[in-house]
Structure 1
Amino acid sequence: MINPIWLNTFCTLVEVNHFTQTADRLHMTQSGVSQHIKKLEQHVNCALLERHGKQFSLTVHGQNLYQQGSLLLKEWQFLEQQLKDDSPYSGKVKIQSPGSCGLQFYSQLLALQTKHQGLNIDYRFAPNISVEQAVANHNADIGFLTQAPTLSEVTSHKIGTEPLLLVTPAHIKTPTWQALCELGFIAHPDAKHHAQLLLSENYPQFEHLEQIKHTGFSNQISLILEPVSLGLGFTVLPAHAISAFNKPKLIQTHYLANPISENIYVCHHRNRPLAKRMHTVIYTIKESL
């Protein structure tokens, strides 16, 4: 069995990329770091580092060990924390979601934290694909998605739906296909998914988003509607993202003939049991939908 102390030294060295700084972080001597790496290489019977003077790079074996070892270390840290404290109202919960969900969910969770200040809510906004990857890599305890996950490490279930709406500049009263093509599309990280769902059901001419010229992009949920409000294009967004925009008179929200909603899923790592505080978070979000 690999010594977890040696493994932690190795993974820290890979992340810091400097022997002296690794020693400082782990409160060791530089020779102690070197000794741990040497013992680890002897134990696994292969070289993990290729040394180039004071610099180093990882061998193929070193890359594999870091990828798997860092996941193991996170699992051990999680298990230790869970054994120490499994209160439903205290401890850190790392959450990720697309911005449209986060605009609603984050305020709900801050209200929960206000009631139970032993909770530490760590909330990060990211596209669906990044949220799913974070859960798979143990960088998030809980993920909220608007697409069903595809990674085998991630399990999920549906907790609600949210309408998708077409948004144009305020002067567009009837969003014909021609009007949309002339405007152009303001893209965002989940734009292709949103547009495919809504436009394909309401415009016979629509086949794929590349048919429409792109006139802008923003990955900040609070800024996506800024170019729309200036007449630079249209977009498709979930209802919560639209309701949060602070210049509603400059945009026009259109409820199309064939309404479409996207599903909202909660997900977590398949092989990691949920701590009680995570169940508290999920219950709070379900109650808000």
Structure 2
Amino acid sequence: MHPPQWLQSFTALAHTGSFTRAAESLGLTQAAVSQHVRQLEDRLGPLLIRRPRAIELTPAGAALLRYCGEIEEADRRLAARLADEDACCGDVGLITPGSLGLFIYPLLLEFQLAHPGLAIRHKFAPDRETLEQVLDKRYDLGIVALKPDDPRLAASRFAEEALELVVPAGAPVNSWADLQVLGFIDHPEGHAMATRLLSRVFPGNPGIASVPSRGFSNQVGLFLEPVARGLGFTVIPTHARRAFARPDAIRVIDTATPVVDTLWLIHRAEWPLPARARRVADHLREHISERTIR
């Protein structure tokens, strides 16, 4: 690594073509500029051809000048990133549960179309992975169902999300026996969600294990496809159901005692969020609040 002052002297000399003018522009003596250039040449070989009224860069000198320009550009990019003045440019990483992710992904795309300087990275992940990725600084923002108690994370309420009992559009469901006839479409959190909701809808039921299994998928966008085809019922979060492309093929059973989870927006607590990440979060909050979650 060459001392920055040596490089500044060389750049000024290359641009002004004169040791005198270079020294004046930097507030240095001509001897100091000359010494900096000689020290660079001791390391890199001849950089200049000195003529009575001008200087000419050697190939090595031209390469060094390009290198100095790259350093200046990198310094400008770093300063802009640290200043965080532009809320509409740069990278924003967001990691969310799959159900919510299906719902907000079109909102993210619309926002990016309106702000083409942004690059939004979005990943679906369970709570544990979300916490790890935000703590590891791989993502600016995360959304989780359980409020973290790690002091390195700041958490604020983001939205509420209910669990829903979803059945084929034409299926009559009035009792536990009706669910047993339909059968259960499982997913990675299916049994836990079904147990939480169905214990309220059908108190005293013998448990989801007593319902025949009719299928399983680990792709949140596919959970409702077998339900829509009449193969069974499932229990999923509201946002996953709202994102389904064929709402007429399914039906949500009204429940008098809903199960509603709070979703938490998290980020590292030790430093402020970049302006661009704050703007994405505000945009999502605004659109989420416009809709009734329950």
The Cα offsets for residues 66-114 of structure 1, whole Å up to 9 and x where unpaired, read as: xxxxxxxxxxxxx988416452221101111112211222222222222
Paired with 1:148 and 1:211, the residues of 2 have a C-alpha distance of 32
Of residues 275-284 and 141-150 in structure 1, the stretch that sits farther from structure 2 once superposed is 141-150
Count of paired positions:
211
Letter in 2 for 1:163: A
Q: 2:245 aligned with 1:278, yes or no? A: no
The Cα offsets for residues 252-272 of structure 1, whole Å up to 9 and x where unpaired, read as: 221112223222211112334
The Cα offsets for residues 141-191 of structure 1, whole Å up to 9 and x where unpaired, read as: 111223333555433121221232111123322242122234332222343
**Closer/same/farther in 2, CA of residues 213 and 126 from structure 1, 3 Å limit:** farther
Work out whether residues 85 and 91 of structure 1, in 8 Å CA contact, stay in contact via their aligned partners in 2.
no
Q: Indicate the residue corresponding to 2:170 in structure 1.
A: 171
The Cα offsets for residues 20-58 of structure 1, whole Å up to 9 and x where unpaired, read as: xxxxxxxxxxxxxxxxxxxxxxxxxxxxxxxxxxxxxxx
Paired with 2:219 and 2:180, the residues of 1 have a C-alpha distance of 24
Q: Indicate the residue corresponding to 1:142 in structure 2.
A: 141
Paired with 1:269 and 1:190, the residues of 2 have a C-alpha distance of 27
Q: Indicate the residue corresponding to 1:68 in structure 2.
A: none
Letter in 1 for 2:107: Q
Letter in 2 for 1:233: G
Of residues 278-287 and 137-146 in structure 1, the stretch that sits farther from structure 2 once superposed is 137-146
Paired with 2:213 and 2:148, the residues of 1 have a C-alpha distance of 27
Paired with 1:212 and 1:137, the residues of 2 have a C-alpha distance of 41
Give the 3-state SS of the residue equivalent to 2:166 in structure 1: strand
Q: 2:241 aligned with 1:242, yes or no? A: yes
Of residues 186-195 and 231-240 in structure 1, the stretch that sits farther from structure 2 once superposed is 186-195
**Closer/same/farther in 2, CA of residues 113 and 174 from structure 1, 3 Å limit:** same
Q: Indicate the residue corresponding to 1:128 in structure 2.
A: 127
**Closer/same/farther in 2, CA of residues 276 and 196 from structure 1, 3 Å limit:** farther
Q: Indicate the residue corresponding to 1:201 in structure 2.
A: 200
Q: Indicate the residue corresponding to 2:264 in structure 1.
A: 265
Letter in 1 for 2:175: T
**Closer/same/farther in 2, CA of residues 153 and 85 from structure 1, 3 Å limit:** closer
Letter in 1 for 2:231: L
1:38-49 mapped onto 2 (5 Å cutoff):
none
1:1-289 mapped onto 2 (5 Å cutoff):
82-83=81-82, 85-149=84-148, 151=150, 153-206=152-205, 209-289=208-288
Letter in 1 for 2:130: V
Give the 3-state SS of the residue equivalent to 1:222 in structure 2: helix
Give the 3-state SS of the residue equivalent to 2:222 in structure 1: coil
Give the 3-state SS of the residue equivalent to 1:278 in structure 2: helix
Displacement after TM superposition at 1:211 (Å): 4.6
Q: What is the aligned-residue RMSD (CA, Å)?
A: 2.6
Letter in 2 for 1:160: A
Work out whether residues 132 and 151 of structure 1, in 8 Å CA contact, stay in contact via their aligned partners in 2.
no
Letter in 2 for 1:244: A
Identity %: 36
Unaligned runs of 5+ in 2: 1-77, 289-294
Q: Which has the larger radius of gyration?
A: 2
Q: Indicate the residue corresponding to 2:67 in structure 1.
A: none
Displacement after TM superposition at 1:284 (Å): 0.8
**Closer/same/farther in 2, CA of residues 140 and 128 from structure 1, 3 Å limit:** same
Unaligned runs of 5+ in 1: 1-78
Per the normalisation by structure 1, the TM-score is 0.64
Per the normalisation by structure 2, the TM-score is 0.63
**Closer/same/farther in 2, CA of residues 195 and 132 from structure 1, 3 Å limit:** farther
